Amino acid sequence: MTYLSDVAALGRKDLRVELRGRDTLPAMLLFVLSALVVFHFAIPDDAGDTAAYGLLWVAIVFTALLGLARAWVPEQEHGVLEGLLLAPCDRSAIWLGKALATLAFLLASQAVALPAFVLFFEPLDMTALAGVLLADVGICAVGSLMSAMAAAGRARELLLPLLFLPLAIPLIVGGVGSAVSPDGERFLLFLLLYDAVFAVLSWASFEYVVTE
Amino acid sequence: MGLALVLALIVVPEDGDQGISQRIFYIHVPIALTAYFCFGLGALKALLLLWRGDDRYDLESYVAIHQGTIFGALTLITGAIWAKASWNVWWTWDSNQLVLFLVLFLFYCAYFMLRFSLEDGPRRARSSAVYALFGVALIPVSFLAIRLAEDFIHPTVFTREGPQMTGSIFATFLVSWAAVTLLAYVLYRVELAGKRLDADLRELREALE
């Protein structure tokens, strides 16, 4: 039980920092809306209906990257991470709290982006929405770890997309598949598998990434 | 290696379908398998590093992945040549193996970026090790993803189910595979020795200063 309350406290801390500072979420919202408008001009009229779904996924992944790049900045700036590492809690709780907070930001940005997508482009069915949700979990699980890794490097903003995008390719396959394939459940299962495998890996390996 | 070349180029009868271009199979496939093997070895050493905390695994893991990336790049090149010869295009998204190698190639290039951007030390060793482990998990997951993606990217997939390998073809294949693996192993030892020497030298120089 203490593990869960640690996670909740850490996640709440991130949300509160965001509420007070408003650094990340407005940027993500604006970015995803601008991206959708850019896509309207980027797709030729005869490109077919399904092309928009692909671009939606590009927008989702890059919006997530924007949020992830900021994820560990508060910890870096004020030496918070050292404090957290000294705290008597399991290190993986830090990762889980961060992943959940990032998930909350991502979901909040999608609460605006998905209706906008439906308005501008194509409708989304339940399978597609479930695909978005499952992929979000994977993005935040893997992304929080990669972001913590990149934060230690010299060029952290450059490094994160490089580390993250090859790992995100299966998520994009699953997400686009769940939106366009007539047999979308298969892709949901695949996303579930991805989430399970990589969440466990990230959970188990976070401690090695942050400790000196 | 020489024996493998002779066997592959002269002894084996030409494939009825693809003619001379089929011979690249004896180089392409062993290189691809060796690249997988190197990535696997790199991840195994990474796991040992995290588990035992012994520094020497860091260098071994790095060198194995370096070899794997080189062989992965060679796989992409030989694959492109083969694709050009038999399907008359340099690149095809139809070939799952090639796409998988492209994803892995990008992934392991990012591994080097990660390594070069972190300060030398135990944290770099462990971060690299974690990333190497992710790579091994990514191989089957990506493979599955690419298979699934055919569903909506290419409704019709043309398969290349040739006749089964006959005796002499299979023997040549095995010899080539052994030769490439041996080559990879020798390169691995050479690079590892060089890197160790380098590290020793740096330590000595620091001790002198």
Residue A56 token pair: 């939606």
How do residues A11-25 score in pLDDT, each as one tens digit?
A: 888 888 888 878 788
For residue B5, pLDDT beyond 80: no
CB < 8 Å to B113, chain A: 159, 162-163
pTM above 0.90, yes or no: no
Q: CA of A167 to nearest chain B CA: how many angstroms apart?
A: 7
pLDDT at B16: 45
pLDDT at B80: 85
CB < 8 Å to B126, chain A: 208-209, 211
Percent of chain B with pLDDT over 70: 80
For residue A104, pLDDT beyond 80: yes
pLDDT at A49: 74
Best B61, B96, B138, B143 residue to mutate vs chain A (most A CBs within 10 Å) = B138
pLDDT at B158: 44
How do residues B30-81 score in pLDDT, each as one tens digit?
A: 888 888 889 999 899 899 888 887 888 888 889 999 999 999 999 888 888 8
A44 in Cβ contact with A137 (< 8 Å): no
Q: CA of A78 to nearest chain B CA: how many angstroms apart?
A: 20
B130 and A155 within 8 Å at the Cβ level: the answer is no
Nearest by CB to residue A173, choosing from B126, B130, B148, is B148
For residue B197, pLDDT beyond 50: yes
pLDDT at A198: 92
B49 in Cβ contact with B129 (< 8 Å): yes
pLDDT at A62: 93
B131 and A197 within 8 Å at the Cβ level: the answer is no
CB < 8 Å to B148, chain A: 173-174, 177, 186-187, 190
The residue to which tokens 């997939």 are assigned: B157
Kindly state the average pLDDT of the residues A39-58.
83
Higher pLDDT, A41 or A79: A41
pLDDT at A106: 92
CB < 8 Å to A190, chain B: 144-145, 148
Q: What is the 3-state secondary structure (H, E, C) of chain A?
A: CHHHHHHHHHHHHHHHHHHHHCCCHHHHHHHHHHHHHHHHHHCCHHHCCCHHHHHHHHHHHHHHHHHHHHHCHHHHHCCHHHHHHHCCCCHHHHHHHHHHHHHHHHHHHHHHHHHHHHHHCCCCCHHHHHHHHHHHHHHHHHHHHHHHHHHCCCCHHHHHHHHHHHHHHHHHHHHHHHHHCCCHHHHHHHHHHHHHHHHHHHHHHHHHHHCC
Comparing alpha-carbon positions, the chain B residue that sits nearest to A193 is: B141
Nearest by CB to residue B148, choosing from A152, A190, A209, is A190
- This model of the complex carries an ipTM of 0.82
Euclidean distance between CA atoms B47 and B131, whole angstroms: 11
CB < 8 Å to B127, chain A: 149, 152, 208-209
Least confident of A172-176, B21-25, B104-108: B21-25
Higher pLDDT, B173 or B114: B114
B123 in Cβ contact with A151 (< 8 Å): no
Q: Across-strand partners of B15?
A: B19
How do residues B81-110 score in pLDDT, each as one tens digit?
A: 888 877 777 777 777 778 888 899 999 999
pLDDT at B83: 81
B151 and A183 within 8 Å at the Cβ level: the answer is yes
Residue B21 banded pLDDT, cuts 50, 70, 90? low
Kindly state the average pLDDT of the residues A128-151.
91
pLDDT at B166: 62
Kindly state the average pLDDT of the residues A59-85.
85
Nearest by CB to residue A181, choosing from B129, B141, B152, is B152
pLDDT at A99: 92
B173 in Cβ contact with B33 (< 8 Å): no
Q: What are the residue boundaries of the structural domains of chain B, listed by start?
A: 23-156+169-208
Nearest to B37 by CA among B64, B63, B62: B64
A159 and B113 within 8 Å at the Cβ level: the answer is yes
A176 and B141 within 8 Å at the Cβ level: the answer is no
Which residues, 6+ apart, have CB-to-CB distance to B133 below 8 Å?
A201, A205, B43, B46, B47, B50
Nearest by CB to residue B103, choosing from A166, A187, A209, is A166
For residue B165, pLDDT beyond 50: yes
Q: Is B155 in the A-facing interface, judged by CB distances under 8 Å?
A: no
Alpha carbon A12 to its chain centroid, in Å, reads 17
A71 in Cβ contact with A147 (< 8 Å): yes
Residue A73 banded pLDDT, cuts 50, 70, 90? confident
Which residues, 6+ apart, have CB-to-CB distance to A68 below 8 Å?
A102, A139, A140, A143, A144, A146, A147, A160, A164
Comparing alpha-carbon positions, the chain B residue that sits nearest to A199 is: B134
For residue B19, pLDDT beyond 60: no
Tell me whether residue B196 is exposed, middle or buried, using C-beta atoms within 10 angstroms of its C-beta: 0 to 12, 13 to 18, 19 or more.
middle
Q: CA of A19 to nearest chain B CA: how many angstroms apart?
A: 31
The residue to which tokens 């394939």 are assigned: A181
Euclidean distance between CA atoms B197 and B209, whole angstroms: 18
